[in-house]
Amino acid sequence: MDILTFLGLLSSLIGSGASVQSDYLKFPQGFSIGTASSSYQVEGAWNASDKGVSVWDWFTHEKNEFIIDGSNGDVACDTYHKYKEDVQIMKNIGLKHYRFSLSWTRILPNGFPNKISQDGLQYYKDLIDELRSNGIEPFVTIYHWDHPEFMNRFGSWTNALMVKWFAEYARVVFRELGPRVKFWTTINEPNNYCEQSSGGKSQAPGMDLAFSGSYLCLHNLLKAHARAYHIYNEEFRATQNGKIGIVMPCRHNFPKYENDTEAARIAFEFDCGWAANPIFSKNGDYPAVMKQRIKENSQLEGLPFSRLPEFSPYWINLIRGSSDYFGLNHYTSKMVESVPRKRGTPWYQESGVRVFVNESWPESPTNWLRVVPEGLGGVLRDVKEAYGNPPVYILENGVSSYPGVADYNRIEFLYGYMKSMLLAMNRDGCNVKVYTVWSLLDNFEWDRGYTERFGLIEVDFTHPNRTRTPRLSTGWLKKIIAKGRLIAFNNTELSVNYRAFNMCTGN
């Protein structure tokens, strides 16, 4: 879009803001705004020191036909060497926390605690100390999809042994890094990850097991999460006194027909509830509608069991309540419609709900990411209603931008989504404590390689130094953090800044 169209859009955003009570746009006392990354997407140094090979190292080296530009994370943003520069950038913006993940094979080269890499641990200790000494709180994700490669040859997360292997890794991490960390996340987006890595082939290891690969994968991930939570609770919480939880990717669902009151609820259960219900609901276990419909479909296929595995009462109890907060990653929404079913026929796609995008929603440079700001408020109200208003940490929200540093579409996106969040909080009582922009830097965007740019900071991947250039959105973010409220941006000021910015970066 050209600048004039864009400025027009901004005016309409500001216009619609005028009807909102101005108190609604304040960030409450203690509210934390930060940014996020994950180990494989940014660190590089894939073979530094004694680091072991991860499933993503293997996938990008051996199966790079699945990566759109054939690229890999061997060097990525080289944050392994450049983290001090990145911390200064965050400090300059005024960001209050930084969410990053640990590479399992950097800490345990064999995957097991019989060999611990002192160099690997030292890297994370240095990063954490650098953050803390600059007033930025580390939010540490233990697992963001890069498990040891050899575990792939044992079936990755379809193998129940992974539960124990993950728990032992987590215990090492709590013991070694826990004295410096107050906020833990066990696992990033278990449900999306399982669909794409076990059920599909767009995430390593790309097993493409349509039958029930993603159900098995999530079953084990939830058990692994609960084991790690209880290890923290029983062995470390008393001395380390931190919080620990898990992060769910949840979308909001808009019904196609107003009279179709069930579609959105069922779509929520099959998307968010699949992983969240066992942990956050009062009774635990998978959502009843999911158990019922998958069982019926399995029966129609002539199977003597449901393709959705069952939790024993022991596991239901262990998993239920195993999170101190509701971690939420949210990007986009969907339209939903119930598909009529005749007796004796299978439920359409297990859920019985057709999910599609509304073509009138604006596009972004990422094809799955339609811009639907009101969906963030929608999903926050969904979570409040489904799980009794738990404390919510938004741990990812953001959009990719067009080439260059003038990321107007990102400012517009963040403004719209944060406004929707603030209304859900200040008007509707949703208990949100943390908001995190994905991402600090442009990075290795999984199967999209380096073709999609989610960074507040542009990274030049052709330069050996991986030069960082802050985008326009950083100036706006700095301002709203300093003021403690969401401010409608001033067009004149924005274009003045834009020109000044271009002069000093030479663009």
Ligand X SMILES: *[C@@H]1O[C@H](CO)[C@@H](O)[C@H](O)[C@H]1NC(C)=O
> What is 266-332 written as a DSSP string?
HHHIIIIIHHHHHHHSSS-SS-HHHHHHHHHHHHHTT-SS-SSPPPPHHHHHHHTT--SSEEEE---
Q: Are 173 and 142 in contact (CB under 8 A)?
A: yes
Quick one: which segment of 202-210, 216-224, 398-406, 492-500 binds ligand X (CB under 6 A)? 492-500
Q: How far is the CB of 335 from ligand X (least distance, A)?
A: 5
- For 28, phi then psi, to 5°, come to -65, 160
- Cα 400 from chain centroid (whole Å): 14
Asked whether position 263 contacts ligand X by CB under 6 A, the answer is no
Near ligand X in 70-99, by CB under 6 A? 74
Return d(Cα 336, Cα 357) in angstroms, integer: 9
Q: How far is the CB of 37 from ligand X (least distance, A)?
A: 20
Asked whether position 256 contacts ligand X by CB under 6 A, the answer is yes
Quick one: which segment of 162-170, 192-200, 254-262, 276-284 binds ligand X (CB under 6 A)? 254-262
Quick one: which segment of 130-138, 313-321, 448-456, 489-497 binds ligand X (CB under 6 A)? 489-497
The position carrying tokens 């639907």 is 372
Q: Which residue in the list 130, 137, 296, 396 is annotated as catalytic?
A: 396
Q: Report the candidate in 411, 435, 407 with the shortest Cα–Cα distance to residue 139.
A: 435
Q: Are 74 and 51 in contact (CB under 8 A)?
A: no
Asked whether position 16 contacts ligand X by CB under 6 A, the answer is no
Residue 235 annotated to the active site: no
Identity of the residue, 490 or 502, whose beta carbon is nearer to ligand X in the bound complex: 490
Quick one: which segment of 100-108, 123-131, 476-484, 485-493 binds ligand X (CB under 6 A)? 485-493
> What would the x/- binding string for ligand X be over residues 347 to 366, using CB under 6 A?
-----------x-x------
Identity of the residue, 14 or 116, whose beta carbon is nearer to ligand X in the bound complex: 14
Site size toward ligand X, by CB under 6 A: 14
Other Cβ atoms less than 10 A from the Cβ of 367: the count is 10
Asked whether position 374 contacts ligand X by CB under 6 A, the answer is no
Question: Are β-strands 333-338 and 353-356 bridged in parallel, bridged antiparallel, or unpaired?
Answer: antiparallel
Asked whether position 485 contacts ligand X by CB under 6 A, the answer is no
Return d(Cα 37, Cα 245) in angstroms, integer: 17
Residue 189 annotated to the active site: yes
Helix and strand totals (H; E) in the chain: 19, 13
Specify burial of residue 2 (Cβ count, 10 A radius: 0-12, 13-18, 19+): exposed
Asked whether position 11 contacts ligand X by CB under 6 A, the answer is no
Identity of the residue, 313 or 340, whose beta carbon is nearer to ligand X in the bound complex: 340
Near ligand X in 30-69, by CB under 6 A? 47
Identity of the residue, 202 or 467, whose beta carbon is nearer to ligand X in the bound complex: 467
- Identity of the residue numbered 175: R
Return d(Cα 17, Cα 13) in angstroms, integer: 6
Binding residues for ligand X, rule: CB under 6 A, are 47, 74, 256-257, 259, 335, 358, 360, 464-465, 490, 492-493, 496
Catalytic residue numbers read 189, 396
